[in-house]
Amino acid sequence: MQDTITTKAYMSLSKAYDYFNKELFDNKLPECIITLQRKPKMNGYFWGEKYTSLKTEGTFTDEIALNPMHFTRSEKEILATLVHEMCHLWQNHFGQKKPRAGYHNKEWAETMLAVGLQPTNDGTVHGKTTGQKIGTLIVSGDLFDVFCTKLLSENTVIEWADRPVDEPEKKKRNTRHKYLCPSCGAAMWAKPGLKITCDDCKEHYVDTDSEDEESEDD
């Protein structure tokens, strides 16, 4: 296979996934599709069985997406997001109970802590570890920190980041906002500032383009 920018960018992420799968999850995690997605206000997300095989009926695989808009962070922080999503993937396949879409429950939080990452809802070590919006802190000297340091001493994983958009162009693009139901994942686009409720789930839609929200892992 020819070494193109695309193949190198995705292969480096795939190799990082395999590395952390071996060192942190005893190679128990199945393969998945890793993508780069510009999902506003998120560092990354996990979506179970998002893809279906066109060759083998009834065969599905999961998606882990990383947001290149937030690749201005350190490589270690970006890879912490990857492992954050790998913890969701672990729970999706081996957990006792699958949480509702986008929710971080106690079992997931315990998995994070087991691999050396601290879940937090406020960016501090004292923050809540469960909830809808949970970020990630790296525990110094713990498993993830040690193995990630080793990986980055041998390889560069992230070589490209999203190019920032000029403010006038950004404002022009954001005349309509994307609203997302936190329970079923249904999406709609409408003008900013609306209060919308999902008829099926009775949950309030979240304005994912709102400037009031900080970036979360998912």
Q: Residue 153 has which token pair?
A: 């001493």
Give the mean pLDDT per block of 10 residues along the chain (218 residues). Answer: 88 97 98 94 94 96 97 97 98 89 92 98 95 96 98 94 73 74 87 87 81 54
Q: Domain-by-domain residue ranges, the chain?
A: 5-154, 167-207
Q: pTM of this prediction?
A: 0.79
Tens of pLDDT, residue by residue over 197-207, are 998 888 888 88
Spatial separation of the C-alpha atoms in residues 202 and 139, rounded to whole Å:
37
Spatial separation of the C-alpha atoms in residues 213 and 135, rounded to whole Å:
13
Spatial separation of the C-alpha atoms in residues 164 and 72, rounded to whole Å:
10
Spatial separation of the C-alpha atoms in residues 84 and 106, rounded to whole Å:
14
Tens of pLDDT, residue by residue over 144-202, are 999 999 999 998 999 999 988 766 655 555 578 888 888 888 898 898 888 899 988 88
Q: For residue 158, count CB atoms less than 10 angstroms from its CB and return exposed for 0-12, middle for 13-18, buried for 19 or more.
A: buried
